[in-house]
A = this chain, B = another copy of it.
Amino acid sequence: MSTTQTTQIEIIKAATTKINDVDFGNLSFGSVFTDHLFECDFKNGEWQQPVIKPYAPFLLDPSTRVFHYGQAIFEGMKAYKNEADEIWLFRPDENFNRFNKSAVRMAMPEVPEELFMSGLRQLLQLDEAWIKKGKGNAMYIRPFMIANGTGVIANPSDDYKFMIILSPVTSYYAGDVKVLIAEHYSRAANGGIGAAKAAGNYGAQFYPTTLANKQGFQQVIWTDDATHTKLEEAGTMNVFFRINNTLLTAPVSERILDGVTRKTLIELAKSEGINVEVRSVLVDELVAAAKDGTLQEIFGAGTAAVVSPISGFSYKDEYFELPKLESTVANQLKEKLTNIQNKLEEDTFGWTVKI
């Protein structure tokens, strides 16, 4: 965001809009896309001419590397429209930096900040009618990059495609979220790619998660792969535990995604006078707290669901139901955060960026 130079983006406008076909009161997360997308190819060692053009399928050769070797990364961020029809982003520099961190780990080219930001800005401006006002409404932004070179040989691709697509979303009530604590399966390893938002991290979790679903749990809370004693994070959320009025969350590491919501909630909680400890949280500690009544809350934190309260957890075939509290830190922080994001409350942190 520091540079003032603007990349000349070619803009090809859609002949018609799909907006009138969309029921904005009834959006299923990540399934509806706006009229345009941003695209920039990396070829011959260079980023090529960026373009905004109609959202549409594109052609790929069957030997395209992303199909075979999983060189693919993404980000997830949101834009909000306030009552004055201004469009605001929330900590976009965090997503930009994480995107390039993921790129490095996956041996993919880094995207220049100006390209990422001006693409994002101009795309949001062009499709701004798709961004709805009001708390809970947001534009989910999905920047992603795939290896689109060809050839079935397990080497980094020479060519890449960077795209940004937009999907209008509403806040959703995830229902009663019960979680299973991982005892066998694992999400990430030291020295692995767990800290990158790499496509392969997600597909790898689907099978253990479907096994948990069959047992009645909506999510898995991953533990460290080596000992399964430390609580790490959920599929697409970092996790917080409130024990004895202290909010606990695992430190980020090579195995854990450095979530923007997580770091924001830590700061928010501190500013609200809540005691926060960033340290390894042991499964045994959680079970003991559930047993002696000091466990008050567990909640997930991520861009998509913002804050997602968890009603109970299972470990070694024992199920622990959490207390139903009148007022929760989860709700307190969610309220505060969404007010800042939607510009309903002053942003004293400087997190929101107007486009």
Contact = CB atoms under 8 A, between A and B. Distances in A.
Given A59-B57, A199-B67, A31 B151 contact: yes
B33 A62 contact: yes
Contact of A191 (B37, B69, B182): B182
A153 interface: yes
Interface string A193-223: 1000011111111111110000000000000
B57 A60 contact: yes
Contacts of A184: 191
Contacts of A31: 150-151, 153
A191 B206 CA distance: 13
A163 interface: yes
A12 interface: no
B105 A207 contact: yes
A236 interface: yes
B191 A225 contact: yes
A249 interface: no
A189 interface: yes
A50 to B, nearest CB: 15
A59 B185 CA distance: 35
Contact of A189 (B152, B206, B225): B225
Contact of A70 (B58, B204, B207): B204
A60 B63 contact: no
A207 B103 CA distance: 10
Given A153-B31, A201-B200, A62 B70 contact: no
Nearest to A225: B189
Contacts of A107: 203, 206-207, 209-210
Contacts of A58: 59-60, 62
Given A165-B152, A198-B200, A207-B105, A72 B62 contact: no
A123 interface: no
A147 interface: yes
B192 A198 contact: no
A74 interface: yes
A135 interface: no
B156 A210 contact: yes
A182 B191 CA distance: 9
Contacts of A105: 207
A71 B106 contact: no
A204 B200 contact: yes
A171 interface: no
A60 B55 CA distance: 11
A68 B199 contact: yes
A127 to B, nearest CB: 14
B67 A70 contact: no
Q: Which are the 8 A-B pairs with shortest beta-carbon distances? A: A200-B200, A189-B189, A70-B199, A186-B191, A107-B206, A30-B152, A189-B225, A70-B200
Given A63-B167, A67-B146, A106-B206, 4 more contacts: A29-B153, A31-B153, A70-B203, A71-B203
